Amino acid sequence: NAGVMQNPRHLVRRRGQEARLRCSPMKGHSHVYWYRQLPEEGLKFMVYLQKENIIDESGMPKERFSAEFPKEGPSILRIQQVVRGDSAAYFCASSPNGQGRHEQYFGPGTRLTVT
Amino acid sequence: AQSVTQPDIHITVSEGASLELRCNYSYGATPYLFWYVQSPGQGLQLLLKYFSGDTLVQGIKGFEAEFKRSQSSFNLRKPSVHWSDAAEYFCAVGAGGGNKLTFGTGTQLKVEL
């Protein structure tokens, strides 16, 4: 049973370009979470999605960031017009449902570097 | 809103010594509590979790944690540390709705041989 998959593992973008980060949840999981980890910091929640629905985006920056989890295919975190401050590790996690007692399984992360 | 405090940024222990990593949380109701471990360049792996019942929970790799409601704490312990335990450890709290986790800033563990 494959775990949570994220690609690419490393992504380099110049300022102003777009970054697309992909996350395939574990088989049977329909809930996806995105977190961002800045250097020397813990993970910060960004967004929580179910298939075709954004449930909680309270941690998403208001501009340039968007997320989707279509009926088919991976979840996508999209960052438009990247700036140096977007450099971070972005982790995706999945769970079988949204109940708190169920752990979130984390992917290996995508490390975004903005030059 | 919930919050998590890990007061120790770095801890160094000798191999074979005991370990305790501190975690304090703030949350209005009974929280769901988790400890994750992150090796360099890797994702997070769950060590253990607490959501009800026995306040002493056992996890993988010989770790355990004790939930103390009166102290709002969920400290992680291991009786004898191995060199392979060197990593960063994160405490997290989940709200009752179960969606987002709030993480502490992490404790970096170094193990001296």
Render the burial of B59-72: b for 16+ CB within 10 Å, e for the rest: beeebbbbbeeeee
Q: B40: closest CA among B4, B84, B5, B105?
A: B84
Which of B94, B95, B106 is the closest to A42 by Cβ? B106
- Whether B89 contacts chain A with CB within 8 A: no
Q: For the sheet containing A75-79, what is the strand order?
A: A5-7, A19-24, A75-79, A65-68
pLDDT of residue B85: 97
Q: How far is B47 from chain A (nearest CA, A)?
A: 10
For residue A100, pLDDT over 80 is answered with no
Count of all residues that appear for chain B in the document: 113
| Nearby residues of A83 by Cβ (< 8 Å), 6 or more positions away | A15, A114
- Asked if the Cβ–Cβ distance from A98 to B44 is below 8 Å, we say no
Alpha-carbon distance of B87 to B106, in angstroms, equals 10
For residue A71, pLDDT over 80 is answered with yes
For residue A69, pLDDT over 90 is answered with yes
Torsion, Cα A83 A84 A86 A88, to 10 degrees, reads 160
Q: Which of B23, B100, B102 to mutate to test the interface with A (most CBs of A within 10 A)?
A: B100
Q: Are A70 and A23 in contact (CB under 8 A)?
A: no
- Asked if the Cβ–Cβ distance from A4 to B43 is below 8 Å, we say yes
Alpha-carbon distance of A48 to A20, in angstroms, equals 17
- Asked if the Cβ–Cβ distance from A101 to B51 is below 8 Å, we say yes
Alpha-carbon distance of A84 to A13, in angstroms, equals 9
CA distance readout (Å), A49 to A22, A34, A53, A104, B6: 13, 9, 6, 13, 28
- Asked if the Cβ–Cβ distance from B97 to A48 is below 8 Å, we say no
- Asked if the Cβ–Cβ distance from A55 to B99 is below 8 Å, we say yes
pLDDT of residue B97: 56
Query: B50 in helix, strand or coil?
Result: strand
Q: Are A93 and A4 in contact (CB under 8 A)?
A: yes
- Asked if the Cβ–Cβ distance from A108 to B34 is below 8 Å, we say no
- Whether B45 contacts chain A with CB within 8 A: yes
Q: Which residues in chain B come in under a pLDDT of 70?
A: 96-99
Alpha-carbon distance of B6 to B38, in angstroms, equals 15
Q: How far is A71 from chain B (nearest CA, A)?
A: 20
The model's confidence at residue A99, banded by pLDDT at 50, 70 and 90, is low
Mean pLDDT of A55-63: 92
For residue A1, pLDDT over 60 is answered with no
pLDDT digits (tens, 9 = 90+) for A7-54: 999 999 999 999 999 999 999 888 999 999 988 788 999 999 998 999
Torsion, Cα B96 B38 B13 B80, to 10 degrees, reads 70
A55 CB neighbours in chain B (<8 A) are 99
Mean pLDDT of A81-105: 87
- Asked if the Cβ–Cβ distance from B98 to A101 is below 8 Å, we say yes
